[in-house]
């Protein structure tokens, strides 16, 4: 055998270098990483605390009014706080004499009582048919010593001068006529004195004829 050939065969038949397990380990590691990445895992137990949202900022994930109504069918359409109910308007006093009572109360509160003005208001009320107001105003002024008001009451109660359609008295009243004529006369009314004397004469005649009311009134002069 030739020597060069022997050397070549010896070189080919010598021990070969092994690559070792590292290549296989690297492949397994890569496959494992890819598998872990592709398969979703459970979320970590301890999540970082979220920073609170600034007041007034609404999250896009938060349910809107329509969603809330769908979840809660009983929720009213308008969930905004309603305005407080308006206070009811004070009741209007439309009873007969209400205007006169209000006027008298105002005069007493202010203390500025002008009896001639009260008398004029009474005449105005009577002219438009507000007889209850007229009576109260006449009465107030007469009680305060205003002779024209007392005289007006006496004349409207006196059967001899009463006008049925406009009198503040529903019926003739000798007693009321005598009373208010006397008040007017005591406060200086000459007409009241004249009417009071005439009334006395008529009452005495009626009393003599058996009229019960006239008899009771006549006792005032005894």
pTM of structure? 0.59
55 or 94: which carries more pLDDT confidence?
94
* Domain-located, residue 24: no
Q: Please state, as a whole number, how many other Cβ atoms lie within 10 Å of the Cβ of residue 136.
A: 23
Count how many domains the chain has: 1
The predicted structure's pLDDT at residue 47: 45
* Domain-located, residue 91: no
Residue 70 CA, chain-centre distance (Å), reads 36
Q: Give mean pLDDT, residues 159-169.
A: 95
Whether residue 217 is predicted with pLDDT greater than 80 in this model: the reply is yes
Whether 90 contacts 98, CB under 8 Å: no
Q: Which residues contact 125 (CB under 8 A, 6 or more apart)?
A: 99, 100, 131, 133, 134, 137
* Domain-located, residue 163: yes
Q: Which domain holds residue 118?
A: 98-221
Whether residue 73 is predicted with pLDDT greater than 50 in this model: the reply is yes
* Domain-located, residue 70: no
Whether 210 contacts 167, CB under 8 Å: no
Vertex 101, ends 98 and 102: CA angle to 5°?
A: 85
3-class SS at 124? helix
* Domain-located, residue 139: yes
Q: Give mean pLDDT, residues 86-114.
A: 86
* Domain-located, residue 212: yes
Buried b (16+ CB within 10 A) or exposed e, 1-35: eeeeeeeeeeeeeeeeeeeeeeeeeeeeeeeeeee
Residues 218 and 17: their CA atoms lie apart, in Å, by 162
3-class SS at 133? helix
* Domain-located, residue 147: yes
* Domain-located, residue 197: yes
φ and ψ at residue 145, rounded to 5 degrees: 95, 15
């Amino acid at each position: 055998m030739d020597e060069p050939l022997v050397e070549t065969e010896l070189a080919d038949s010598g021990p070969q270098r092994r690559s070792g397990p590292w290549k296989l380990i690297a492949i397994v590691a890569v496959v494992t990483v890819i598998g872990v990445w592709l398969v979703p895992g459970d979320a970590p137990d301890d999540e970082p605390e979220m920073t609170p949202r600034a007041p007034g900022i609404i999250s896009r994930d938060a349910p809107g009014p329509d969603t809330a109504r769908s979840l809660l069918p009983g929720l009213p359409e308008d969930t905004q706080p309603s305005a407080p109910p308006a206070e009811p308007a004070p009741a209007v006093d439309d009873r007969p004499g209400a205007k006169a009572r209000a006027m008298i109360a105002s005069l007493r509160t202010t203390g500025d009582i002008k009896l001639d003005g009260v008398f004029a208001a009474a005449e105005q009320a009577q002219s438009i048919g507000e007889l209850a107001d007229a009576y109260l105003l006449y009465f107030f002024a007469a009680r305060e010593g205003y002779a024209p008001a007392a005289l007006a009451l006496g004349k409207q109660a006196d059967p001899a001068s009463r006008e049925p359609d406009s009198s503040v008295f529903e019926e003739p009243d000798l007693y009321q006529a005598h009373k208010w004529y006397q008040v007017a006369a005591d406060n200086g009314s000459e007409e009241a004195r004249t009417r009071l004397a005439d009334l006395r004469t008529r009452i005495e005649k009626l009393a003599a004829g058996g009229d019960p009311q006239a008899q009771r009134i006549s006792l005032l002069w005894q």
